A and B are shown apart, each in its own frame.
Chain A
Amino acid sequence: MFLDRLTKVFTSLKLTVVCLTLAMLLVFFGTLAQVDLGLYKAQNEFFRSFLIYWGPKGADWKIPVFPGGYLIGGLLLINLIAAHYSRFGFRKDKFGIIITHLGLILLLMGQLATDMLSTESSLHLRNGETKNYSESDRLTELAVIGKVDPRTDQVVAIPDSRLAGGSVIRTPELPFAVRVKHFYRNSLLVAQPTAGFEKSGATQGAGPDVWIREEPRTTKMDERDTPSALVELVADGKSLGSWLVSTRLAAPQTVTFNGRAYDLILRLRRYYIPFNLQLLEFKHDIYAGTDIPKNFSSQVRVLNPATGEDREVKIKMNTPLRYGGLTFYQASFDQDDRGSILEVVRNPSWVTPYLACLLVGVGLGVQFLSHLVPFVKRRLTT
Chain B
Amino acid sequence: MMNPGSWIVRSPLRRPALAVAAVSLLAGCGRNEVKVYRVEKDHDAAPPMQQQAEMAAGHPDVGSPAKPQLSWTLPGGWEQQAPGEMRAASFSIKGKDGKQADVSVIPLGGDAGGDFANVNRWRGQVAQQPISPEELAKLAESVHVGSDPADLYDVSGQNPSSGDATRILATILHRDGTAWFFKMTGDDALVEQQKPAFIEFLKSVRFQAADTAALPPSHPPIDGMTLSPGMAGDTASSAEHPGWQVPAGWRQAPAGQFLMAKFIVGGEGGAQAAVNVSNSAGDGGGLAANVNRWRKQLGLGEMSDQDVNQSATPADIPGGNAMFVDLTGKDARTGQSARLVGAIVPQGGQTWFYKLMGDAKVVEAQKSAFTQFVQTVKY
Contacts and interface: CB of A to CB of B under 8 A. Distances in A.
B43 interface: yes
Contacts of B27: 116-117
Interface stretch (B189-197, B211-219, B265-273): B211-219
Interface stretch (A13-21, A35-43, A105-113, A323-331): A105-113
A225 B50 CA distance: 16
A177 to B, nearest CB: 12
Given A128-B56, A155-B37, A250-B48, A74 B20 contact: yes
A291 B112 CA distance: 32
Nearest to A339: B211
Interface string A270-289: 00100010101101111111
B17 A109 contact: no
Contacts of B87: 191
Contacts of B84: 191, 209
Given A161-B32, A191-B86, A191-B104, A337 B110 contact: no
Given A194-B125, A289-B353, A154 B213 contact: no
Nearest to B219: A280
B40 interface: yes
A335 interface: yes
Interface in A323-350: 334-339, 348-349
Contacts of A162: 32, 34
B285 A159 contact: no
A290 B291 CA distance: 11
A190 B219 contact: no
A130 B38 CA distance: 18
Given A116-B24, A128-B56, A171-B34, A153 B41 contact: yes
Interface residues of B, number: 81
A186 to B, nearest CB: 10
Contacts of A226: 109-110
A250 B47 contact: yes
Contacts of B222: 280-281, 283, 299
A81 B16 contact: yes
Given A148-B38, A171-B34, A206-B85, A248 B104 contact: no
Contacts of B34: 156-159, 162, 169, 171
A212 B259 CA distance: 44
A248 B109 CA distance: 5
A335 B23 contact: no
Interface SS majority for chain A: mixed
B55 A109 contact: no
A328 B5 CA distance: 22
Contacts of A22: none
Interface in B43-67: 43-44, 47-51, 53-57, 59, 66-67
Nearest to B125: A194
Contacts of B49: 247-248, 250
A78 B56 CA distance: 53
Given A116-B23, A188-B112, A283-B257, A106 B12 contact: yes
B290 interface: yes
B293 A153 contact: no
Interface string B190-212: 00000000000000000000010
Interface string B349-370: 0010100000000000000000
Contacts of A338: 211, 213-214
A151 interface: yes
Contact of B213 (A127, A151, A161, A215): A127
Nearest to B59: A128
B285 A289 contact: yes
A381 interface: no
Interface stretch (B71-79, B241-249, B276-284, B320-328): B276-284
A153 B37 CA distance: 8
A288 B48 contact: no
Interface stretch (A131-139, A231-239, A365-373): A131-139
B293 A289 contact: yes
Contacts of A145: 44
B139 interface: no
Given A77-B16, A265-B48, A116 B293 contact: no
A109 B55 CA distance: 43
A179 interface: no
A156 B59 CA distance: 30
B214 A265 contact: no
A236 B54 CA distance: 39
Contacts of B290: 289
B254 A152 contact: no
Q: Would you list the 3 A-B pairs with minimal beta carbon distance, nearest first?
A: A116-B27, A267-B48, A195-B124
Given A195-B160, A299-B222, 10 more contacts: A77-B20, A81-B16, A84-B13, A106-B12, A117-B27, A153-B41, A153-B44, A281-B222, A286-B257, A288-B285
25 contacts: A109-B8, A117-B27, A129-B54, A130-B56, A132-B39, A148-B38, A152-B38, A152-B41, A153-B41, A154-B37, A155-B39, A155-B44, A156-B35, A156-B36, A157-B35, A189-B108, A190-B121, A192-B125, A195-B121, A195-B124, A195-B160, A215-B113, A267-B47, A286-B257, A349-B4
